[in-house]
Structure 1
Amino acid sequence: MMKYYLILLSVLLISSVNAQEFVQVQDGQFIRNGKTYHYLGTNFWYGMNLGSNNKERLLRELDRLNQLGIKNLRIMAASEGDIDAPWRMQPSLQKEPGEYDEDLLMGLDFLLNEMKKRNMLAVVCLNNFWPWSGGFAQYVAWTNGDENIPFPPPADGGDWRTYQEYSVRFYQNEKAQKWFKDLIRKIIHRKNTVNNVEYRNDPTIMAWQLANEPEGIDKPEVYRNWIYETADFIKELDSNHLVSIGSEGNTPSPKNGTDFFNDHNYSSIDYCTFHLWVQNWGWYNPKKPEETYGNAILRASQYINEHLEIARKLNKPIVLEEFGISRDDNSYDVSSEVVYRNKYFKFIFQSILNYAQNLKQMSGVNFWAWGGEGRPRVPKAIWKTGDDFIGDPPHEYQGWYSVYDKDISTLIIIQNFAEDFTSLNSELEGTK
């Protein structure tokens, strides 16, 4: 009998240790291994593709990021559409519904295992409102006989509003929802072919994310119900990991259908995310930096504060998981100056750090995006199959927001602030 109790105690202790390895939320803050968890991370959406098609480069990129102190990567674990689809990351995981590219899944296995070796964590995005990975629009098109998608720019005559209205059809399309849930189930239940650990049991994964920047244009209640139902579905499959929306936040667009408080005010959504785009939203003009930068900073500060206040009301962690700015004069040349980018990165990192030092909910920041050793075919190119993956998605001009391995002045800023964020992590008893 004593032997039985010793075995049971051993199992319980092992389970407790394993549970601590997963990032958890307690009293409005991230906890990992008994310590508060803060981070400076990056967006590395193409990591799965490198893991499949260019392992050598992936290892170099992970080593560079690790040396910079970047331990949290936001990655894509889904992409849809055939090889001829324009402005998409290729190859895609699903060529057709339910037809998965095993080589890409093995690339994801390889990526997660290599991250594990470096004590890195992954926020794993499962879908996309925007067309650069296929996403919502591709699911909708599949249900209608693979009809033509009304692509936004850079398509000739492309219109963002028309595309958004098409993309939101995804929420009420039963067949599309079934296919998406099939994808979720497949990813969560997958056993890593490198280390034999099921994804749902892998603490290298910090969180599952419903989609990249989902919106509720003209259908806010439908959109919100989809958030809640999908989050519940993930929690039913996997009780170990956190779930987040991938929300852009309450953007300046009054018609995007998001409501930061209500979207995140649900038990299966563990923490808040928001994105900040001073240039895309017209607050900053790189052609007129002296005239526009100051106002952009003021508006960015207000935007951060507004979202943090909502997270405090919800008492949930919050992460600024996307922000970026172009090179000086909006240049796409890899050798152009980054004076204003460096200035802006310092401001954002310092702002988030100051909040994190005083308010437990402010937890992390990810810059957009890591380009590493990749380079555009030519400055301002539109990505084509065979080109290097960099930080800019295929539907955007290549070289816009990418941070390269040779941007030394920017890398020094990132490294210094990464150390500052890591230094905030303390034993739970000593937290705020």
Structure 2
Amino acid sequence: MKTRLIIALVISISISSCSSYKRHFVKVKDGDLILKKRAYTFIGSNYWQGMNLGAPNSGDRERLVRELNELQALGIKNLRVVAASEGDIDMKYCIHPALQTSPGVYNEDLWKGLDFLLSEMDKRDMKAIMVLGNFWTWSGGFPQYLKWANAGNIPFPQDEGTSWKDFTDYSLKFYTDTLAQAMMNNHIEKIINRKNSITKKRYKKDATIMAWQLANEPRGYDAPKDFLKWTQNTSAYIKSLDKYHLVCLGTEGNTNDTISGTDVYRDNNNENIDYITMHIWPQNWGWFNPKQGEEKFQEAIEKANEYWNDHVAVAKTLNKPIILEEFGIARDESSYDPDAQTVWRDKFYNHLFAKVLNSIQNGGVVKGLNFWTYSGEAKPERPGEYWEKGDAFLGDPPHELQGWYGVYNTDKTTLDLIKKYTIKVNTNE
């Protein structure tokens, strides 16, 4: 009898411990993000450089800690971070050093950087969205995997004589290249099962991680069926390895099926995709730039509202929440000078922050945002030029002109605006 009592007690404690453990993971239920049985809503930032800054040898951990403290003071609770970077010695317009330097060969310094980032985020009660791939070159991504799979040289669109179509046609090959996909799947398995060298937690059991994201802005272009097959297979593979974390696509959303081969309903109508991602880029999409005036800005706002409404309608149909995870506008006059004003950016931020807040306060489907992007204390060494090896890491990734969209810790008006909304969202809890 005594033995049975002890066994029953052990089982009871074990079940209670497991239940408590699962409460720390963000879940999706009835169209809501849930954490500890309460709605999880947030104001967050993109912060792709966190892994590199956290590296003990090649990084700058003191800067990382300072910037995480700055973000915490702003009320930021969620960071979208790079959890995969691929780059051989010849890879251009790409993060260096990279986590994976050739297929299956890793830079241990960068692994420790990611470990450190997650451990420091945990101390600040922040959640991470972990990006596992990239359609573009700035973290290696599909192009680097294809090059390793002998698909030929990468046609970098930044180089003279090469077009963006040349590049996108190349990156599209990833969806039918089984060897390139196998390389990425190997990384997915490795990172999900990794044990953090600091916390000793397996990543798949680390509640600091909110979600695994298939890739940054994957597009289907004229091969939407191949793209869809890849998203379905990869999301199912992640779920087979990890039963705790959410999975999302990382797509911009409904960027027009006839142009970029994405469709927000079709792509997210997948039982292994837990929530919808949405990006809004008025400048990249030709709606507005800061050299234009108020009339053109209002036209861009109307287009942004229409884009928003299209996604909200789909989210309601699928009963899934949305995260607005990328948006931005350049500094005034499209200047790359860190001292240039940010009047138009602040107006655009204010509009979208207010829409997210309204959604949260009124039970809408948009549950949070990650603005693009936090550069912190780093400034471009050559504003308006491409990043080079050895340059400081900014929020602007290496394939884009430095100083374009990043928010610095000296951008007082923008930071004040961010804090105003984090206070409201965090109080809404």
TM over 0.5: same fold? yes
Cα distance, 1:267 vs. partner?
Answer: 0.6
Equivalence for 2:187: 183
CA distance in 2, matches of 1:197, 1:79: 22
Cα deviation for residue 378 of structure 1 reads: 2.1
Choose the corresponding residue for 1:213, options 217, 224, 227: 217
Tell me the amino acid that sits aligned with residue 149 of structure 1.
Answer: I
Instruction: Name 1:369's counterpart in structure 2.
Output: 373
In 1, are the aligned partners of 2:289 and 2:329 still within 8 Å (CA)? no
- Paired positions, count: 423
| CA contact 1:50–1:57 (8 Å) conserved in 2 | yes
Q: Whole-Å Cα distance in 1 between the matches of residues 229 and 94 of structure 2?
A: 28
Q: Secondary structure at the match of 2:161?
A: coil
- SS of aligned partner of 2:134: coil
* 1:167 aligned residue (159, 171, 174): 171
Matched, 1:340 2:341: no
- Asked if the contact 2:46–2:373 (Cα under 8 Å) also holds between the matched residues in 1, the reply is yes
Give the match's secondary structure for 1:254. Answer: helix
Matched residue, 1:41: 44
From the superposition, tell whether residues 43 and 55 of structure 1 become closer, same or farther in structure 2 (CA, over 3 Å).
same
Q: Deviations over 1:109-154 (max 9, x none)?
A: 0000000000000000000000111110111111117x320111x2
Alpha-carbon distance, 1:24 to partner: 0.2
Displacement of 1:359 after TM fit?
3.2
Is it true that 1:9 corresponds to 2:15 in the alignment?
A: no
Q: Where in structure 1 are there 5+ consecutive unaligned residues?
A: 426-432
Deviation at 1:252, TM superposition (A): 4.9
- Asked if residue 353 in structure 1 is aligned to residue 357 in structure 2, the reply is yes
Of 330-339 and 283-292, deviating more is 283-292
* 1:29 and 1:360 in contact (8 A); partners too: no
Q: CA deviation at 1:289?
A: 2.5
For 2:195 and 2:221, locate their aligned partners in 1 and report how far apart those are by CA, in whole Å: 37
Q: Do 1:43 and 1:370's aligned partners in 2 also have CA atoms closer than 8 Å?
A: yes
Instruction: Output the CA distance in 2 between the equivalents of 1:105 and 1:5.
Output: 41
Is the 1:25–1:31 Cα contact (8 Å) retained in structure 2?
Answer: yes
Alignment-derived partner of residue 269 in structure 2: 265
Aligned counterpart for 2:406 among listed residues 396, 402, 409: 402
Match of 2:116 among 98, 102, 110: 110
Q: Is the 1:28–1:360 Cα contact (8 Å) retained in structure 2?
A: no
Q: Where do 1:16-415 residues align within 5 Å?
A: 16-52=19-55, 53-144=59-150, 147-152=152-157, 154-252=158-256, 254-415=258-419
1:82-105 deviations in Å (ceiling 9; x for gaps): 233211111011111111111100
* Shift in CA distance, 285/360, structure 1 to aligned 2, threshold 3 Å: closer
* Distance in 1, Cα, partners of 2:131 & 2:54: 16
Deviation at 1:218, TM superposition (A): 1.2
Q: Provide the rounded CA distance (Å) in 2 between the counterparts of 1:70 and 1:187.
A: 25
CA distance in 1, matches of 2:397, 2:293: 25
- What's the TM-score, normalizing by structure 2? 0.97
Take 2:12 and 2:162, find their aligned partners in 1: how far apart are those partners?
A: 62
For 1:50, give the aligned amino acid. L
Amino acid at match of 1:41: G
**Letter matched to residue 5 of structure 2:** M
**RMSD, aligned α-carbons:** 1.1
SS of corresponding position for 1:164: helix
CA distance in 2, matches of 1:387, 1:259: 37
Name the CA distance, whole Å, in 2 between partners of 1:112 and 1:321. 19
- Aligned-pair identity in percent equals 48
Question: 1: CA distance between counterparts of 2:274 and 2:426?
Answer: 21
Structure 2 unaligned segments of length 5 or more: list them.
Answer: none
- Structure 1 residue 222: Cα displacement: 1.0
Letter in 2 for 1:39: F
Structure 1: which amino acid aligns with 2:410? K
Query: Which residue identity lines up with residue 16 of structure 1 in the other structure?
Result: S
- CA distance in 1 between counterparts of 2:127 and 2:89 reads 30
Q: Deviations over 1:20-64 (max 9, x none)?
A: 100000100000011100011010011100001111111011000
The alpha-carbon deviation at position 361 of structure 1 amounts to 2.0
Q: Which secondary structure does the structure 2 equivalent of 1:401 belong to?
A: coil
The 3-state SS of whatever aligns with 1:176 is: helix
DSSP 3-state at the match of 1:308 = helix
User: Residues of 1 paired with 2:312 and 2:165: CA distance?
Assistant: 29
Q: Distance in 2 between matches of 1:212 and 1:16?
A: 33
How far 1:157 sits from its partner (Å)? 2.1
Shift of 1:411: 0.3
8 Å contact from structure 2 (residues 84, 139) kept in 1: yes
Report if aligned partners of 1:328, 1:338 keep a CA contact under 8 Å in 2: yes
Cα distance in structure 1, aligned partners of 2:239 and 2:257: 31
Deviating more after overlay: 205-214 vs 156-165: 156-165
Counterpart amino acid of residue 223 in structure 2: K
Query: Normalised by the size of structure 1, how large is the TM-score?
Result: 0.96
Q: Secondary structure of 2:258's match?
A: coil
Distance 1:214 1:339 in 2: 31
Amino acid at match of 2:165: R
Deviation of the 1:182 alpha carbon: 0.4
Q: Kindly report structure 1 stretches of 4+ aligned residues shifted beyond 6 Å.
A: none
Say which SS state the counterpart of residue 366 (structure 1) adopts: strand
2:87–2:95 Cα contact (<8 Å) kept: no
